[in-house]
């Protein structure tokens, strides 16, 4: 794939992540009429929620937030999805411009030809030439601006897995145990509680316990339940559950949930000794857990700082903010020594910085430790404390290109990651930006 195509995918993926898609009830009904199961996606849980996964022609995924019409911040709206899941989008500006043009043409058609000619004869040649020049310029600019809206990179909807409608021997729907992120990643939160929620100190963007309140999941998932879910998923599609993402809320125990991870992973390894497994944790006091969990079978790990600016972090993540950035740096360094290069990651949210250059400086400091960043725009989720937060697409692209350059400078390679959010890429275009820089 050429650089131009990669650049278009990166740009369009960034638009979808930052702005989402507007979806009308009429379109939803039309999609369902052709036999496609369609909903607005996951509305809670850990990580970026509230979206559906779409796939580009080069295999890149995008977890796109969907918003019911009218939604003023989205540039694009969903137009249709074919029975074979090909997606058609339209630019809201293009449609509004077309409707305006049709209205104008209809109005002009009502004018008599004689009146129109008389009106034109009164215009001076200079005014007419100036008007034509202006219209030509506006037409050219409109054409340039609508280049991607009219010819967006091809994308397909990742269909809802069939196993979601099935239940296990306990009569628990499999979709309450684990979900597909994209078409390869099976993900779950093994303990859906977090101690910070008890004192109203949870991260403002987090929807972890909202899933419990809406009965979308169960509180604790056992290793056996996950083994069964992997099996039923793979029986439907051999691409499903090629790697696993396991997350957890911060537990009130001394180990912050590491023993739960160890028990679940050990059980999975008895049946699936080779499936790559990713876990996500908060830094704990006993760093010997890193080797123990690696020995149990975890392949990659995420230690999530999430917000680079200390002032913003203290407000957005009041519970976790007591852990200093320096502590995260120490844990990244130690985890890389245990898990290896390119196997340690951290979520970095955009949308909370006041100065882009300062953000990039802080990001460079973090990446100098060799950690891989899951760069993703913060999303507002109904029911959370986070107010609507937006990252301009131009800023997001600049951050991604800078990050790809820093990965190269510090010898990090996101394409070498074995499992989890980096490998999936649905919530972050890091691999897309890295490949574009490499000229793949």
Summarize pLDDT for 158-199 with one digit per residue, the tens: 999 999 999 999 999 999 999 999 999 999 999 999 999 988
Per-residue pLDDT band for 382 (boundaries 50, 70, 90) equals: confident
For the segment 9-62, what is each residue's pLDDT rounded down to a tens digit?
Answer: 999 999 999 999 999 999 999 999 999 999 887 666 565 656 899 999 999 999
Instruction: Please report the pLDDT score of residue 161 as a whole number.
Output: 97
3-state secondary structure 237-298: CCCCCCEEEEECCCCCCCCCCHHHHHHHHHHHHHHCCCCCEEEEECCCCCCCHHHHHHHHCC
Instruction: Please report the pLDDT score of residue 112 as a whole number.
Output: 47
CA distances to 137, 140, 145 from 134, in Å: 5, 10, 16
Q: Is residue 317 pLDDT above 60, yes or no?
A: yes
Instruction: Please report the pLDDT score of residue 43 as a whole number.
Output: 61
Instruction: Please report the pLDDT score of residue 140 as a whole number.
Output: 40
Widest Cα–Cα separation across the chain: 89
Q: Is residue 440 pLDDT above 80, yes or no?
A: no
Query: Which one has a higher pLDDT value, 143 or 354?
Result: 354
How far is it, in rounded angstroms, from Cα 53 to Cα 63?
4
**CB atoms near residue 163 (< 10 Å):** 21
Secondary structure (DSSP) of 158-174: -PPPGGGG-B-TTS-BG
Label residue 351 left, alpha or beta by phi (over 0 means left) and psi (-120 to 50 means alpha).
left
Nearest to 169 by CA among 237, 238, 224, 233: 224
How far is it, in rounded angstroms, from Cα 187 to Cα 179?
5
Instruction: Please report the pLDDT score of residue 438 as a whole number.
Output: 73
Domain residues of the chain, as ranges? 160-438
**CB atoms near residue 135 (< 10 Å):** 10
What strand order describes the sheet that includes 87-91? 87-91, 76-81, 21-23, 61-68, 51-56, 155-157
Q: Is residue 77 pLDDT above 80, yes or no?
A: yes
Instruction: Please report the pLDDT score of residue 42 as a whole number.
Output: 66
Note whether 418 and 46 are within 8 A (CB).
no
How far is it, in rounded angstroms, from Cα 73 to Cα 365?
32
The chain-wide mean pLDDT, for the chain, equals 88
**CB atoms near residue 132 (< 10 Å):** 10
This prediction has a pTM of 0.87
Instruction: Please report the pLDDT score of residue 420 as a whole number.
Output: 98
For the segment 231-288, what is each residue's pLDDT rounded down to a tens digit?
Answer: 999 999 999 999 999 999 999 999 999 999 999 999 999 999 999 999 999 999 999 9
Among the residue ranges 120-129, 139-148, 398-407, the one predicted with the least confidence is: 139-148
Q: Which residues pair with 181 in a beta bridge?
A: 185
Instruction: Please report the pLDDT score of residue 150 as a whole number.
Output: 52
- According to DSSP H, which parts of 340-375 are helical? 356-367
Q: At the top level of CATH, which class does the domain 160-438 belong to? A: alpha beta
Query: Which one has a higher pLDDT value, 149 or 201?
Result: 201
Among the residue ranges 110-124, 185-199, 328-342, the one predicted with the least confidence is: 110-124
Label residue 411 left, alpha or beta by phi (over 0 means left) and psi (-120 to 50 means alpha).
left
For the segment 139-156, what is each residue's pLDDT rounded down to a tens digit?
Answer: 443 333 334 445 799 999
Instruction: Please report the pLDDT score of residue 62 as a whole number.
Output: 97
Instruction: Please report the pLDDT score of residue 179 as a whole number.
Output: 96
For the segment 222-246, what is each residue's pLDDT rounded down to a tens digit?
Answer: 999 999 999 999 999 999 999 999 9
Please compute the mean of the pLDDT values over residues 83-88 and round it to a whole number: 96
Per-residue pLDDT band for 416 (boundaries 50, 70, 90) equals: very high
Note whether 8 and 19 are within 8 A (CB).
no
């Amino acid at each position: 794939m050429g650089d131009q195509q990669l650049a278009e995918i990166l740009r369009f993926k960034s638009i979808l992540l930052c702005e989402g898609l507007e979806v009308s009830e009429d379109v939803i009904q039309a999609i369902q009429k052709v036999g496609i199961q369609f909903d607005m996606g996951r509305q809670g849980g850990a990580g970026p929620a509230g979206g559906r996964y779409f796939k580009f022609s080069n295999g890149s995924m995008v977890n796109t937030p969907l918003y019911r019409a009218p939604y003023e911040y989205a540039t694009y709206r969903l137009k249709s999805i074919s029975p074979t899941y090909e997606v058609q989008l339209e630019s809201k500006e293009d449609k509004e411009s077309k409707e305006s043009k049709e209205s104008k043409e209809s109005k002009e058609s009502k004018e008599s030809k004689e009146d129109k000619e008389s009106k034109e004869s009164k215009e001076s040649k200079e005014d007419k030439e100036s008007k034509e020049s202006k219209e030509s310029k506006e037409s050219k600019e409109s054409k340039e601006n609508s280049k991607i809206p009219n010819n967006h990179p091809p994308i397909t909807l990742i269909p809802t897995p069939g196993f979601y409608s099935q239940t296990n021997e306990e009569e628990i729907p499999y979709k309450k145990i684990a979900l597909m992120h994209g078409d390869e990643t099976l993900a779950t939160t093994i303990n859906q509680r977090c101690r910070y929620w008890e004192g109203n100190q949870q991260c403002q963007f987090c929807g972890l316990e909202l899933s419990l309140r809406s009965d979308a999941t169960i509180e604790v998932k056992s290793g056996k339940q996950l083994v069964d879910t992997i099996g039923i998923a793979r029986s439907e599609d051999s691409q499903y559950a090629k790697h696993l993402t396991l997350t957890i809320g911060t537990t009130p125990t001394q180990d912050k949930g590491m023993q739960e991870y160890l028990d679940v992973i050990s059980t999975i390894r008895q049946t699936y000794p080779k499936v790559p497994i990713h876990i996500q944790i908060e830094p704990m006091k006993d760093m010997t857990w890193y080797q123990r969990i690696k020995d149990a079978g975890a392949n990659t790990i995420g230690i999530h700082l999430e917000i680079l600016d200390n002032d913003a972090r203290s407000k957005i993540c009041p519970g976790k903010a007591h852990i200093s950035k320096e502590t995260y740096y120490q844990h990244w360094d130690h985890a890389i020594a245990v898990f290896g290069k390119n196997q340690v990651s951290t979520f970095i949210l955009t949308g909370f910085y006041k100065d882009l250059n300062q953000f990039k400086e802080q990001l460079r400091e973090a990446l100098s430790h060799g950690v891989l960043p899951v760069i993703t725009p913060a999303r507002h989720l109904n029911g959370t404390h986070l107010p609507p937060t937006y990252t301009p697409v131009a800023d997001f692209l600049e951050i991604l290109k800078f990050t790809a350059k820093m990965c190269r400078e510090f010898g990090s390679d996101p394409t070498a990651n074995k499992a989890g959010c980096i490998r999936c890429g649905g919530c972050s275009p890091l691999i897309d930006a890295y490949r574009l820089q490499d000229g793949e």
